[in-house]
Amino acid sequence: MAIGINTHRPLITGVSHIASTGHYLATAAAYRILEQGGNATDAGVAAGLVLNVVLPQYTSFGGVAPIIIYDKTSNQTKSISGLGRWPKSASVEYFAKHHNSELPAGVLRTVTPSAADAWMTALKTFGTMTFEEVVRPAWELAENGFPIPSSLHNALVKEGDKLVHDEGEGVLWSTSMDVFFSNGVALQTGQVLVQKDLAHTFRRLIEVEKASQGLGREEAIQSARDYFYKGQMAEEMVAFSQSQGGLMSMDDLQDFSVEIETPPSISYKDCEVYSCGPWCQGPVTLQTLKILETTDLASMGHNSAAYLHTVVEALKLAFSDRHHFYGDPDFVNVPMEGLLSSDYAQLRASMIDHNHAAQEMPAPGDPWKYESGKAGTAAIKKPKEMAGGLPADTSYISVVDKWGNAFSGTPSDGIGGGPTVPGLGFVMSPRGSQSWLDEEHPSCLAAGKRPRLTPTPAMAFRNGRLWMPFGTPGGDVQCQSMVQLFLNVSEFGMSVQQAIEAPRISTWNFPNSFWPHAYNKNLIGIEGRINADTLSKLSSMGHELDVWDDWTPRMGALCAIEVDHERGALFGGADLRRDGYAIGR
C-alpha cells in the first residue's frame, strides 16, 4: 500500500484502486470500502457521507451533491443532478412583497435537499453495496466523534455570529450552536465533535433499509430514500422549516427526485472532458478549454504573463456566457450545442486582446447561430459594480477502482447557510442563495426551478479511455482552478500533484453566483508565489491585481486521479490548501 499527502511526489499505485478527497477521513472511508471489495461508486458515496460529517462547514447530508460516474462495463459516463428545487410556493413576487426583493439568509433560501437522494441514487444504480455498508464509516464518526482540525475550528469562529443571528434579527440558529459550540464558544482544535442527531438519522435509514432487505438491494435502498423524502423524516424537515418561516412543504419533498443524465462534453485535442449541465456552472470549464484549444499555450511558458492573461481572458468570455445563458434547462432553453461548438469557440477566442485586459465583463456571444443557424435575441446585461465577498464552500471526491470505474462528486452546503434541523443533525440546502430575482435573468427564481449551482465535478478521457476525474471546492473559483489543473497536466506534462500545487490565478470580472451577486469589475486574485516580474507585466496589461496568500484556500482545494494506461499506474494528488488526502494501492 502507498499512502501520500501533499508532497511534490504524486501518490503512485499499481493498477488497483485509489481515492483522493477533500478530507483525510473521507479518503480513508473510500479506501476502506475499496479494500472491502466495493467499486468506485460505493467508495465515492461512502466518502461523500463522511464529508457530510467531518466538513459541516462545507457540506451537508441535506445539501447538494452533483456527481459524474464512469461505468466501465457499459462504457458510459453519466451525471446525477444532485441539486434541489425551489418550493412550489416560492416566487419573485413573494420576496418582493414580504422581503423587499431580498433573499434573507436561512430557511427562506432553502431548496429541496438533494444530497441524500444523489448518494442513494448513485449507490442503487451504479454501486454494489448496501446503504448500511457505505454509511457505516460516516455513522461511526458521527456517533463516536472525531478531533476537530484547525480548519473546522476557524470556520466555526468565522461563522459564529451568522449561526446565532440572521442579520441582527435575533437568535434563530441555536440548533447549530447546540452541536458545534459549548457555552457559546466554538469547539476548539483537538476537541471531539460528536453529532448524535446525525448519527441517529443514519441509524434510522439503516433500519428502514434492513426492514426492506427482502425486496432486494436496490429496492431496500429506495425504501430508505423514500423514508427521507416521503416518510417521517420528511415530515420533520417540513415542520422545522415552517416553524422558522420557511416555504418547504411535503409536496415539495415527495415530488422531488434527482435525475441521471448524459452530461455535456467537449473534445480538447486528444481528450474528451465531461462536466454537469447548465443547471450548474460546469460548462464554463468546457467552454474555456474549447476557447483555449487552438492557442499554442505551451509556447507561452507556464504561468508566464502571456499565458495567465490568455487563460483569464478566456475565462471572462465563458463567465459572460454563463451569466447570460445558463439556467435550469427544465425552465430555460440553453444553447449548449452552440456554446460548446468549435466554431463558436474560435469566434470567442478571436475576441481576446492579447495585450490588454477586458476592464469589465465582456458582452455575451451569440451561440444560437451555431445551434439553430439563426441569430439569438438575448439581451446584453451590464451589471452594476457591487462590492462583496467571494464565498468558497464545498468539498470534492474522486475515486478510481480496480475495474476501471470512476466517481467524481462535489458535495456542498454547510452550516453557515442555514440552521441545523433538530433531531436530524443536518442543514437543509440553502442553495437558493444562487438564484436571481431579476425576471429577465436565466437563473431567476421560480417555483420548482433549480438555482444555477457552483459545485461542478469533472472527468476527462484521453484517446477514448478513462484518464482523470478532477474537481475542487471554491464557489466561482472552481472552474478556474480546474481549467488550470487540466492545462498543467495536458499542456505542461505535470503530474497531478505538481499540477495541483502550482500557483493559480482567478478572475472576478462577472457577477458572483451567491446573493447579492457581488461584481468586482476587473479584479484578479493571484497567489503570491507568482513572480514579481509576471505580476508587473499583468498590471501593465490593465489587470487589477489582488495578491493573495501563497497557498490560499480561496483558490479551492483540487483533488485528481490520473490513470496512466501505458505504465499501468494510478497517480493521485490532493491539495495542501485545505485538508485533502489521497490513498491507494
Query: What is the model's pLDDT at position 387?
Result: 65
Dihedral over Cα of 571, 47, 258, 221: its sign: positive
Q: Which residues contact 414 (CB under 8 A, 6 or more apart)?
A: 55, 56, 57, 58, 59, 60, 63, 155, 393, 427
Q: Does residue 451 contact residue 90 with C-beta atoms inside 8 Å?
A: no
Phi, psi for residue 559 in degrees, rounded to 5? -135, 145
Query: What is the model's pLDDT at position 174?
Result: 84
Q: Is the peptide bond before 516 cis (omega within 30 degrees of 0)?
A: yes
d(CA 30, CA 26): 6
Q: Dmax over Cα atoms in the chain, in whole Å? A: 69
182, three cell numbers: 459549548
Query: What is the model's pLDDT at position 382?
Result: 73
The three-state secondary structure class of 524 is strand
476, three cell numbers: 466561482
Q: Please state which architecture CATH assigns to domain 1-101+258-356+388-416+430-585.
A: 4-Layer Sandwich (3.60)
d(CA 47, CA 466): 21
Q: Which of 206, 80, 84, 186 is nearest to 142 (CA)?
A: 206
Query: What is the model's pLDDT at position 171?
Result: 43
Query: What is the model's pLDDT at position 133?
Result: 98
Query: What is the model's pLDDT at position 554?
Result: 94
Query: What is the model's pLDDT at position 159?
Result: 75
d(CA 46, CA 580): 16
421, three cell numbers: 434541523
152, three cell numbers: 473546522
Tell me which DSSP letter residue 535 carries.
Answer: H
Query: What is the model's pLDDT at position 15?
Result: 63
Q: Which residues contact 5 (CB under 8 A, 6 or more apart)?
A: 11, 24, 574, 576, 580, 581, 582
Query: What is the model's pLDDT at position 458?
Result: 98
Q: Does residue 413 contact residue 77 with C-beta atoms inside 8 Å?
A: no
Q: Does residue 65 contact residue 409 with C-beta atoms inside 8 Å?
A: yes
534, three cell numbers: 509576471
Query: What is the model's pLDDT at position 162?
Result: 65
State how far the alpha carbon of 359 is from the alpha carbons of 207, 312, 384, 481, in Å. 58, 12, 13, 21
* Exposure string for 383-416, b = 16+ CB within 10 A, e = fewer: eeeeeeebbbbbbbbbbbbbebbbbbbbbbbbbb
Q: Which of 46, 107, 116, 52 is nearest to 84 (CA)?
A: 116
Q: Which residues contact 220 (CB under 8 A, 6 or more apart)?
A: 130, 131, 209, 210, 212, 213
Q: Any idea how long the chain is?
A: 585
Q: Which of 103, 116, 109 is nearest to 63 (CA)?
A: 116
d(CA 500, CA 483): 11
Element (H, E) at 548: strand 544-548
d(CA 50, CA 135): 8
Q: What is the DSSP string of 221-281?
A: HHHHHHHHHHSHHHHHHHHHHHHTT----HHHHHT----EE---EEEETTEEEEE--TTBS
3-state secondary structure string, 274-287?
Answer: EECCCCECCHHHHH
The three-state secondary structure class of 415 is coil
Query: What is the model's pLDDT at position 170?
Result: 44
d(CA 554, CA 389): 11
Query: What is the model's pLDDT at position 121?
Result: 98
Element (H, E) at 119: helix 115-126
Rg (CA), the chain: 22
Mean pLDDT per 10-residue segment, the chain (585 residues)? 40 80 98 98 98 97 98 97 98 97 94 98 98 98 96 86 53 80 91 98 98 98 98 98 96 98 98 98 98 96 98 98 97 97 98 97 95 72 69 89 97 94 97 96 98 98 97 97 98 97 97 95 96 97 97 96 94 95 95
Q: Does residue 48 contact residue 397 with C-beta atoms inside 8 Å?
A: yes
Residue with cell 462535489: 410
3-state secondary structure string, 95-111?
Answer: HHHHHCCCCCCCHHHCC
